[in-house]
Structure 1
Amino acid sequence: MFSSWDGLCGIGELARRAGVTVKTVRFYSDRGLLPEAARSPGGHRRYGPDALERLRLIRSLRTLDLPVSTVHRVLGDDDRGRAGGALEEAVARQLAELGTQLTALRWREAALRAVQESPPSDRPGRLLLIGAVAAPPNTAPLARFWRAWLPPRMPARSVSAFLDAAVPQPPEDPEPAQVLAFARLYAMVSGPCDDGTPTQPHAHASAGARESAVLYAGLAEAYDLAAVRMREGREPHAGEALEAFVDAYARAGDAADTPAFRRALAGRLAADPRIDRYWELTAELVSGHTDRPEPNPGTAHDWLLAALHADSGAPAAVRRG
Structure 2
Amino acid sequence: MAAGWDGSWSIGELAEYARTTVKTVRFYSDRGLLPERDRSGGGHRRYGPEALERLRLIRSLRGLGVPLPDVQRIVAQQEEGDESRALEDAVAGQLRTLGSQLAALRWQEAALRLVHEAVPEERPDRLQLVGALASPPSTAPLARFWRAWLPARMPARATSAFLEVAVPQPPESPTPGQVLAFARLNALVTRPCSAKEPTQPAAHGAAGPREAALLYAGLAEAYGLAAPDLLAGRAPHDGEALAAFVDTYATVHGLRDTPAFRRRLARELGADPRFDGYWELVAEVATPPGERPHPTPGTAHDWLVAALEAGVGARAA
Normalised by the size of structure 2, how large is the TM-score? 0.95
**1:5-20 residue pairs with structure 2 within 5 A?**
5-20=5-20
Amino acid at match of 1:112: L
User: 1:312 Cα deviation (Å)?
Assistant: 2.7
When the two chains are superposed, the root-mean-square deviation of aligned CA atoms in Å is: 1.6
- Corresponding position of 1:319: none
Cα distance in 1 for partners of 2:306, 2:90 equals 53
Please state how far the C-alpha of 1:57 moved relative to its aligned partner. Answer: 0.4
1:78 corresponds to which residue? Answer: 78
What is the deviation of 1:50? 0.8
Gapped regions of structure 1 (runs ≥ 5): 316-321
Tell me the amino acid that sits aligned with residue 42 of structure 1: G
- 2:36 — aligned with what? 36
* Matched letter for residue 43 of structure 1: G
Q: Which residue of 2 aligns with 1:214?
A: 214
1:129 aligns with 129
Secondary structure, counterpart of 2:157 in structure 1: helix
Superposition deviation, residue 125 in structure 1: 1.7
Would you say the 8 A contact 1:237–1:307 is kept in 2? yes
Percent of aligned pairs sharing the same letter: 65
Match of 1:180 in 2: 180
Aligned-partner Cα distance in 2 for 1:56–1:30: 17
Aligned to 1:312: 312
- Aligned mates of 1:205, 1:7 — CA distance in 2: 85
In structure 2, the partner of 1:282 is 282
Question: Which shows bigger deviation, 238-247 or 113-122?
Answer: 238-247
Output the CA distance in 2 between the equivalents of 1:235 and 1:289: 26
Q: Distance between the aligned counterparts of 1:269 and 1:111, measured in 2?
A: 38
Structure 2 distance, partners of 1:87, 1:312, is 67
DSSP 3-state at the match of 1:238: coil
2:287 and 2:293 in contact (8 A); partners too: yes
CA distance in 1, matches of 2:38, 2:77: 23
Q: Structure 2: which amino acid aligns with 1:199?
A: T
Cα pair distance change 1:314/1:125, threshold 3 Å? farther
Pair 1:29–1:291, CA change in 2 (3 A): closer
Does the 8 Å contact 1:2/1:49 carry over to 2?
Answer: no
May I ask how many residue pairs the two structures share in their alignment? Answer: 315
Residue aligned with 1:219, SS: helix
Q: Distance in 1 between matches of 2:307 and 2:290?
A: 25
User: Does structure 1 conserve the Cα–Cα contact (< 8 Å) formed by 2:203 and 2:252?
Assistant: no
TM-score after normalising by structure 1: 0.94
Which residue is equivalent to 2:302? Answer: 302
Q: AA paired with 2:113?
A: R
1: CA distance, partners of 2:165 / 2:279: 11
4+ residue segments displaced more than 3 Å: 288-291
For 1:48 and 1:186, locate their aligned partners in 2 and report how far apart those are by CA, in whole Å.
60
CA distance in 2, matches of 1:251, 1:227: 22
Contact 1:203-1:272 at 8 Å conserved across structures? no
Distance change >3 Å, CA 304–CA 290, structure 1 → 2: farther
SS in 2 for 1:204: helix
Instruction: Give the superposition deviation at 1:173.
Output: 0.8
Indicate the structure with greater helix content. 2
